[in-house]
A and B are shown apart, each in its own frame.
Chain A
């Protein structure tokens, strides 16, 4: 059993990485990742919400009438997002000011509702928790990676520690830089996939919701 949990978690981190492979929930991936710290905070918020939603949906899966399942899932997600938002407002004012809007918008993340629908509603509690945790970790990892690239090139630092004397390319921390970094990283992932694993071209999800 332990091996399959490991597989579930690794699935979320690599083969079905929410940002680079499934191309889901892109808005926050570009919006908050101007630095490693912001990306990390956002990732942790999503990780918590996602694990809790998967657990709750899995516990309630036999009680929810299939006809009203989508509104029910949205209510569950909205509840956990409200809790996360209030916690963040209480404990971390400065971060909340920067990314409060995006924290509230976790509620419409396609990745959370699609995992609840595709996985948690059909599986037992523990595998669902593992799936949510793995997907959340994959999301966290992607946000930290994008944040690190943008902070390093844009401000010449990583996680607040200065590495170069000046800011090499300020444009990377501006809105437009986020699009470039994600596009280039996605291309890189596709290239690795095609070169070493024989993946299809035109990957990166196909841009569905």
Chain B
């Protein structure tokens, strides 16, 4: 049982890393990886939202949608769950802990329409995971995304000072750097198959 969960965690964090092998969440990945500080804030918020939305959507899918045979509505419902939860967390955080809200609030808004957050529940239902497995997939994906963001942020802080040809400044060079990191991550492929 724990071996199984550990496999899912490692597989989703490193081997099937969302950014480098599945190309999801690129918008946020390129958007917030310019500075280490924002990258760290984003990774923490992201992981928390991911785990909780994986848990919530598993409950809704298995307790509501399956008994009622409305699986075909899963896209609509999952995005509703994520958006609703993010809005709720936003309001709650503003009331309970304003300092933390001013630090992380901006990321919460960005998260609502992010591909990874929606992809985790969809993958969970595609693979028929149970509750613990779903949460582990959310946690592993969050850890993988944080790892990607931190690697990228530390490289991009250096890139600011580098002498890059004019047409490649900004996004193009960021893409090429990501390609190089993805090449390194390719070395993990085939280590575990799920």
Instruction: Report if B27 contacts A (CB, 8 A).
Output: yes
**Residue B89 is within 8 A (CB to CB) of chain A in the complex:** no
Asked if B179 contacts A176 (CB within 8 A), the reply is yes
Q: List residues of chain B with CB within 8 A of the CB of A74.
A: 79, 83, 113
* Nearest Cβ on chain A to B51's Cβ, whole angstroms: 19
Binds A, one of B38-46, B61-69, B131-139, B166-174: B166-174
Specify which of A107, A180, A194 is in contact with B75 (CB 8 Å cutoff): A107
- Which residue of B25, B28, B72, B175 contacts A179 across the interface (Cβ within 8 Å)? B175
Residues of B138-194 at the interface with A, using a CB-CB cut-off of 8 Å, are 165-176, 178-180, 182-183, 186
Distance to closest chain A CB from B19 (angstroms):
10
Closest-CB distance, B193 to chain A (whole angstroms): 16
Cβ contact of A78, chosen from B20, B28, B75, cutoff 8 A: B75
Instruction: Write the A169-209 contact mask toward B (1 if CB under 8 angstroms, else 0).
Output: 00100111111101110111011001000000111111111
Pick the residue among A26, A82, A107, A184 that contacts B26 (CB under 8 A). Answer: A26
**A1-41 interface bits toward B, Cβ cutoff 8 Å, 1 = contact, 0 = none:** 00000000000000000000001111110110000000000
How long is the Cα–Cα vector from A186 to B115 in the complex, in angstroms? 22
Q: Tell me if B126 and A194 are in contact (CB < 8 A).
A: no
Chain B: minimal CB distance from A169 (Å): 13
With both beta carbons as reference points, the residue of chain B lying nearest to A190 in the complex is identified as B167
- Asked whether, in the complex, the Cβ of A206 is within 8 Å of the Cβ of B122, the reply is no
Least distance between B15 CB and chain A CB atoms (Å): 12
B108 touches A (CB below 8 Å): no
A82 to B72, Cβ gap below 8 A? yes
User: A209–B176 contact, CB under 8 A?
Assistant: no
- Distance, CA A69 to CA B22, complexed state (A): 31
Question: Is B54 in contact with chain A by the CB < 8 A criterion?
Answer: no
CA distance A171 to B126 in the complex (A): 28
Question: Chain B's interface: helix, strand, loop or mixed, by majority?
Answer: helix
Does A78 contact B174, Cβ atoms closer than 8 Å? no
Closest to A23 in B: B171
Check B79 against A209 for contact (C-beta < 8 Å).
no
Q: Contact: B179 with A26, CB < 8 Å?
A: no
Query: Do A31 and B113 touch across chains, with their CB atoms under 8 A apart?
Result: no
Asked whether, in the complex, the Cβ of A107 is within 8 Å of the Cβ of B118, the reply is yes
How extensive is the interface on chain B, given as a class?
Answer: 35 or more
Chain B residues 65 to 116 lying within 8 A of chain A, measured CB to CB, are: 72-73, 75-76, 79, 83, 110, 113-115
Take A101-B126, A182-B175 as given contacts and tell me if A107 and B24 are in contact as well, using a CB distance cutoff of 8 Å: no
Bound Cα distance from A110 to B46, whole angstroms: 18
Q: Is the CB of B178 within 8 A of A107?
A: no
> Does A66 belong to the interface (CB within 8 Å)?
no
Q: Is the CB of A179 within 8 A of B176?
A: yes
Give chain A nearest CB distance to B90 CB in angstroms.
14
Tell me whether A186 and B24 are in contact (CB under 8 A): no
Contact A30 B23 (CB under 8 A): yes
Closest to A206 in B: B170
Residues of B within 8 A of A75 (CB): 76
- Give every chain B residue within 8 A of A104 (Cβ-Cβ): 75, 118, 122
Q: How far is the CB of A131 from chain B (nearest CB, A)?
A: 20
B123 at the interface (CB under 8 A from A): yes
Q: How far is the CA of A107 from the CA of B176 in the complex (A)?
A: 27
B residues in contact with A184, CB < 8 Å: 172, 176
Q: How far is the CB of B134 from chain A (nearest CB, A)?
A: 16
Q: Is A135 engaged at the interface, CB distance under 8 Å to the other chain?
A: no
B172 touches A27 (CB 8 A): no
Return 9 A-B CB contacts under 8 Å, by A number: A23-B30, A30-B23, A79-B76, A86-B72, A104-B122, A105-B118, A108-B113, A110-B113, A202-B169
In the A-B complex, the 8 residue pairs with the smallest Cβ-Cβ separation, listed nearest first, are: A183-B175, A179-B179, A191-B167, A176-B182, A204-B171, A190-B167, A31-B23, A183-B176
